[in-house]
Structure formats: C-alpha cells, structure tokens
Structure 1
C-alpha cells in the first residue's frame, strides 16, 4: 500500500499521487463507492452529527428504526422532514461535479454506488447505479409500500413533531425511502454495487468510514478479485490497511484534481 502525505484543502489543484493517476488513466471501467464524506463538503452532516438541538436527546435508534417509527411516527417524520429540507437547500460540491464530468467525458465507464441517501450525485449530473442505503426522497407508504408522488410539505423551520403525509392508496402514513437500522436493503442495490466492483478496473472508495456492512465489504471483495482499490479520505479508516493506495484528501479537492489531471494527460 502506498500512502501520500496529507494535502491542504485550500490549494487548488492539489497534487495527484502518481500511483493513483496511473491507475485511473489505465482504467476503462471505474466504480466509485461513496459515503458520508462525499457529501460533507456540501454541508450534509453525518448521521450521528445531524441531530441538532431539537433531537439531541434522542439516540439514532429512536429516529431511524422501525421500532422508533411504530412508537412515534410524528417524531420520526419531523426528523426526516428536517433532513429533506436541509438537503434541498444544499448544492453538489466540486467532487460531485468532477465525477459527473468524468462519466460524461467519454472513454471511461464510471459507475457510482453510494451509501448516501441524498440526491447530490444526481443533481451534479451523474447517474447513480445504486443507493445501497435507500433514497431520502423516494417516499413510500409505510404499510402497502405504494410510492408517494406528491411533494411533502416541509416546515420553513424545524419542528420536533410533524404528522406524516397519508398514502393515497390505503390512507396509512408515508415514510422516507431510507434503510433503517436492522432493515432490508433496497432490492438489487447491493448486488448491483457488487457486480460493478467485480468487473471494474479501478474502485475508488470516497468518504466512507468502512464500518457499515455489507457496503464496507465491497472494497475487500474487489481487491480479492484483482481490482485496484484506492481510498480517498482525509482520515484513517477501517478500510485503509486493506486497499492498494491511500490518498489523504477530501472528495471535493481530490476528485477535481484527479479528473483535471486525466483531462490534461489522457491515456
């Protein structure tokens, strides 16, 4: 494993490690696995850091589990309504935009599988292969599963309790399309991410802590099949010792620098 020195975030463009640049230049199929760090520079807080004053007294199991929903759907919906409003007000960062530019530049197939439930990849212009932990905006009935196509009303200011919308099919409460603790992953999402890792020439692991399974198993599985794996993260993670190259940089600095380097010196 090679490990480049930490890079300052206020210098643009930053230097791309030679091994990373060469692996990316040689690749024709790239799979990008993104986590919370991908969206952090857009202002999306990590899950455990996103509770804020109104929800500080509640643990994540209360706000993101079937048990919590069954006990108090108004509380849980208020939390997710706040998150929906927060994400809507944010913009994709330079890392999101760089991935879209890379994918749309031709010559390289770039596939994205993400743990993130936001839509910032899509708003930057990327097509996401798999939202492995669900989609905040894919609202559906909590009972019959029917999709909810209407625009939910989001309060201008966060509130601690808010009645969820009602399903037009059965009249039960509508819930966000995210995966709660202990819940099932969206059908086919993990398999799509796995297949994309197995037939890739390069896997980039961007901004994920590597502690949530089964998503965290993907880099190791890819590397076991001979795929080059690069971690892009400013912090050491549980994945760092098991990848080919580590680049200590953030998504919004590293990805634009990498794409610019490839455009300046294509294969």
Structure 2
C-alpha cells in the first residue's frame, strides 16, 4: 500500500506537424518545409528539371544575346582587326565588305533579336528561381515566357537561314580568289568545297539545336499546366475552383 505510484502524463495527440515537416526536409532535399492540408509537399522531378533548364538557359541565353549585340554593333571593326596584309588581305577585305552589306540588311532585326534574347534570358532565370521555390506566380510566368521564347527562336532561325543563304555565294567566290593568290597552296574549288561543308554542318547544328529547344519549351509549357501541380504551387486550377457558399 505504501508503494510510490508514478502517474504517466497524458500524451498530446495533436502535436504540431511542422516539426515532422522539418525532419522530412532535412532527410530529403526534395521535400519543401511547408504543409498543404498537414501533408509535406514533395517537389516533382519534372519541376526540378524545368527549373534547372530555365536557370541555365537564362544565364547562357543572356550571355549569348549580349555577344550577338556586341557583334552586331562592332562586327565591321572586329573583322578589320584580323584582316592580313598583302593581296590576300585585300581580297579578304573585299569579301568582308560584301558580307557587311548583307548583314546591314538585317541590322535592326539582329539588334532587336539580341535585346529580346537578353530579356527572355532574364525572364527565364527569374522564373526558374520562382519555380524551384514553388512560388505561385512563377507557374504562369514561365509558361508565358516559354511561349514568347518559342516565337523568338523561330524568328531567329529564319533570320539566320536567310543571312547564310545570301552570304554563301559571297564566301564561295572569294574563297576561290584567295586560293588563287596563295600560289596553289590549296585549290579554289577545294577551299570552296570546305566552305560548303562548314555551312552544311553549321546549318545542321543550328536546326538540331532549335528542334531540341523547341521540344523542351513545348514540354515545359504542357507540364506546368498539369492539375497535379496545384498542391505544389499552392493554387487551384480554374476548372476545380467553385464559388464559396455564403456562410
């Protein structure tokens, strides 16, 4: 009867679930430290892929467009810096002047494409950061940016193809003249043939890279439209939303 009776404290069933979410975040970096209906939200693999692609494409695209802008503004000065002396240099100078005349036709188009490319790159970078953080605004931001980027890439490939189409006969003609001034070191037809191979390889690479980017952009837009991502972004699809009944 004299025994000490230990009274066990009652267990509280409704413990804060944020502690469990924190443990899940530490164990798995793909689990966000936020709750939706008391369930930790897992970042889908597709979201990670889209975010990384947007961030990388935004950085590289901005730098590439900056280089294109510099080349558009100072292409003639850059070309004159690498012109050799002598008869071959004079022929190369003539070729560069004709090439600059072709580029001059697309001067303002290339200028606009360079500026637009930098703007799209910055938008993709910002959107990628927002997507990786699950920001609600980033979903529509990235989808709209990708739609603009698709149109932008189509225009850029068309302009590049037209430029190469007009430059091809110029390079062919002057390659043969330069070969003639080099005392037969390499025949003009051989140099023209190598020039043709270079143009073909360049066009194949440009078209292949364009198709890959087009596929990624279309896939990214379609993926971000999935209703299964509503919980990740903390939003509700318009098709699922319904007016609340008055209380």
- Shorter-chain TM range is under 0.3
Q: TM-score, normalised by structure 1?
A: 0.26
Higher relative contact order (CA 8 A, sep 6+): 1
Higher Rg = 2
Q: TM-score, normalised by structure 2?
A: 0.27
Q: Which has the higher strand share?
A: 1
